[in-house]
Amino acid sequence: MLGKEEKLAVTRVMESGILSGYRGSWGDYFFGGEEVKALETEWAAKFNVKHAIACNSATSGLWLACAAAGIKAGDDVIVSPYTMTCSASMPLHFGAVPVFADVEPDYFCLDADDIERKITVETKAIIVVDLFGMPYDADKINAIAKKHNIIVIEDAAQACGATHKGRHAGTLGDIGVFSLNVHKHIQCGEGGIVVTDNDDLAWRIRLAMNHGEAVENDLQPPYQNIAGMNMRMTELSAAIAREQLKKLDDILEVYRVYANYFPVKITPGCESAFYRYAWRDKDLDISLIKWAVERKTFNVKHHYIKPIFQMPLFQSLGYDTYQCLVCKEVNEDIILAWPKEAI
């Protein structure tokens, strides 16, 4: 849903002559330009979270979350086998070991009981995924993480606007990551937002996002050693994202109306963002689906992705004996639908 508002926002930035307000050295410009700062303030207010940090993609956001969490070589990180690959592959960038837990048979997010079975003394974090717009089982998984002193990183790329017992997806764990990629609910082409209520984690995310090592000598006292990257959002992207954020509620309402045409199961206490309408063959009502497809012009697809541990990279790393039987079963009979035209 791109329109005149986004065009005016782009024009505003172009006329300002400032396409990026960042510098990789200490000062007010370390925190970005006016559009980025405004987006972060507006995002934090919208999702009722203390810190929102803009970056150039949700994939970058997951890297930043892992960096802020202090994930290192030898750590185990529990991940989902059934999602876009970056949340599972991200621990590899830090020398850590992805450990796949199985998924729920009806809601397709990580299964809390299987997470607990996979925890060892080396487990540092859990990267949960709010798959297809459905929030993860925050009550059970957060309790497990607290018991074992494990950090929870929430990949909410597909769940912008979803809720769990009134709390926004993305704010349910210690760190949350949103996507503003071109095919998400709202978009600025490429972009991400990382959120947290923890002051220390927020500062580490900012340092990792903008050449943290370059400002260490300017901080009094020095904060900590952290080797950062350039994962900064431009003023153009931030300006578009600000206008998109204003439209989120209206967009979600359309997705939720369309959901009535499909046999999607909703986790009790949750409100899905319906990034995809997902159900299994056993729940299929042919007449209902046929009517919805014909009248509402939806894309329909059988299967999502093969389990990540079956992909060549992970097979080469020794994951060829992995099971995750529910994940395999789900992939055999899952059906996905989504509107053909952007909402």
Give catalytic residue positions. 184
Three-state DSSP class for residue 142: helix
Q: Which two tokens stand for residue 21?
A: 């307000």
159 DSSP assignment:
-
Three-state DSSP class for residue 127: strand
- Number of CB atoms found within 10 A of residue 70's CB: 15
34-69: b or e for each residue (b if 16 or more CB lie within 10 Å)? ebbebbbebbbebbebebbbbbbbbbbbbbbbbbbb
Which residues lie closer than 8 Å to 194 by C-beta, 6 or more apart? Answer: 52, 53, 55, 61, 64, 65, 175, 176, 177, 178, 205, 209
Closest listed residue to residue 79, CA positions, set 309, 270, 267 = 309
Q: Which two tokens stand for residue 141?
A: 């998984």
- For residue 3, give the amino acid letter: G
Is residue 143 a contact partner of residue 251, using CB atoms and an 8 Å limit? no
CA distance 4 to 116: 49
Dihedral angle sign, alpha carbons of residues 23, 27, 31, 36? negative
